[in-house]
Amino acid sequence: MMGKTLTLVLYHGPYASQRVDIGLLIAEKALEKGYNVNIFLYMEAVHSAKKGQSPKYFPNVGEKLSELAEKGAKIKSCSRCAGARGYVEGEEKDGIYPTSQHVSGVHIANLRDLGYWLKNSDKVLAL
């Protein structure tokens, strides 16, 4: 895809602060402006992709991630971080680790994919 690319590295968990919400708002605005968007969920941020979230007073970050994926964002979570938190359910195949616990549009992938994104992005934000 042509055009400039923004990569967001999120490493805070959802709900304890607004950081994930802010990151996803940045991603949404960037997509609306026609930029390519990558989102890498790192450390506690892998919980943002958990299926079945039901927050009473905060925006649902899982649903937001799926929406962004449908709008064209590429979203991956770190395999080591996801594995440590119990999300990885088998061996890697074609660069993807199986899970039944992530919302649609988010894949558990290798950390080296983040390296590739960093190398090939115009701008990177780590929130």
Q: Does 123 bind another protein (CB under 8 A)?
A: yes
Tokens found for residue 78: 């770190």
Alpha helices in the chain (DSSP H): 19-32, 61-70, 79-84, 111-119
Q: How far is the CB of 51 from another protein (least distance, A)?
A: 26
Binding flag, residue 118, another protein (CB under 8 A): no
Distance of alpha carbon 93 from alpha carbon 91, whole angstroms: 6
- CB of 36 vs another protein, minimal distance in Å: 10
Residue span binding another protein (CB under 8 A) among the ranges 16-24, 38-46, 89-97, 104-112: 16-24
Helix 61-70 to helix 19-32 angle (10° resolution) is 20
Nearer to another protein (CB atom), residue 25 or residue 84 = 25
Residues that bind another protein (CB under 8 A): 4, 6, 17-19, 21-22, 25-26, 29-30, 32-33, 35, 122-127
